[in-house]
């Protein structure tokens, strides 16, 4: 397997040169931006997107908030599981980085000495995006867009073949979807237990929010409001 895609006369390598060739024509500052975005920025953006979705679910305080938070918790966990699954895959395929077997690539990140297939960055971002999509379609679509951009960046940077990225997408998707039922069966009871806690319950539902998302009155305030309504009707 070590010689996988070492020939320069296949679509995988051709597409690699086409996309990485954009880096040669781009200004140096743009390449630096792509380097940081592809290496760190999009991973951070994905984490922030999951946190934003959690904050939105918590603030709305709907009846299924615990289940939604459990689904969101699975997104980063799925990414972690997918990376662990990738460890033996990399060792089995043993595909060298493209710049080690192909000349003329503009490599934006140095120090990449591990194997190329499959891309950890593509795996992580797609696993989180699919997990997020299962929890919330609107946020999940943004997550899928970030994952696709991450895959493009890895090829643009000259550190992965296109099939490394496609493999990462497939691995991340498979782990997030196939293990989702088991994860939800384990995480949902935990989220519901946290929801019942007076303090930790704030992680699931914002203080003073009812199931329908409206401000929930405390009992005394509710009685006061009811009394005021009765006086108004009597008047």
Give the pLDDT score at 9: 65
- What is the value of pTM for the model shown? 0.81
The DSSP annotation for the chain comes to -TTTT-SSSSHHHHHHHHHHHHHHHS-HHHHHHHHHIIIIIHHHHHHHHHHHHHHHHHHHTBTTHHHHHHHHHHHHHHHHHHHHHHHHHHHHH-PPPHHHH-SS----S----S--SSPHHHHHHHHHHHHHHHH-HHHHHHHHHHHHHHHHHHHHTTSS-HHHHHHHHHHHHHHHHHTHHHHHHHHHHHHHHHHHSTTGGGGTS-TTB-TBSSBPPPHHHHHHHHHHHHHHHH-
pLDDT (tens, 9 = 90+) of the chain, 235 residues, equals 444 444 446 888 999 999 998 988 889 999 999 999 999 999 999 999 999 999 988 887 777 788 889 999 999 999 999 999 999 999 998 899 998 888 888 888 887 888 999 999 999 999 999 999 999 999 999 999 999 999 999 999 999 999 999 999 999 999 999 999 999 999 999 988 888 888 888 888 876 554 444 444 334 334 444 454 445 444 4
Question: Which domains are seen in the chain, by residue range?
Answer: 11-203 (1.10.606.20)
């Amino acid at each position: 397997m070590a010689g996988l895609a070492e020939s320069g006369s296949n679509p995988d390598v051709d597409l690699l040169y086409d996309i990485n060739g954009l880096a040669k024509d781009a200004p140096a500052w743009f390449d630096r931006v792509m380097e940081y975005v592809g290496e760190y920025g999009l991973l951070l953006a994905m984490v922030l997107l999951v946190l934003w979705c959690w904050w939105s679910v918590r603030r709305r305080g709907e009846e299924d908030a615990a289940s939604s938070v459990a689904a969101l918790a699975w997104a980063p966990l799925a990414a972690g599981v997918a990376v662990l699954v990738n460890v033996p895959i990399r060792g089995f395929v043993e595909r060298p980085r493209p710049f080690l077997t192909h000349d003329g690539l503009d490599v934006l990140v140095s120090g990449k000495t591990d194997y190329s297939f499959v891309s950890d960055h593509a795996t992580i971002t797609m696993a989180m995006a699919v997990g997020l999509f299962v929890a919330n379609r609107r946020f999940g679509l943004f997550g899928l867009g970030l994952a696709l951009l991450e895959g493009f960046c890895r090829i643009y940077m000259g550190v992965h073949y296109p099939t490394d990225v496609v493999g990462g997408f497939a691995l991340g998707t498979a782990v997030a979807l196939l293990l989702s039922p088991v994860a939800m069966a384990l995480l949902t009871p935990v989220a519901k237990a946290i929801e019942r806690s007076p303090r930790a319950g704030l992680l699931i539902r914002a203080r003073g929010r009812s199931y329908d998302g409206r401000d929930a009155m405390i009992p005394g305030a509710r009685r006061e409001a009811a009394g005021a309504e009765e006086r108004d009707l009597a008047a």
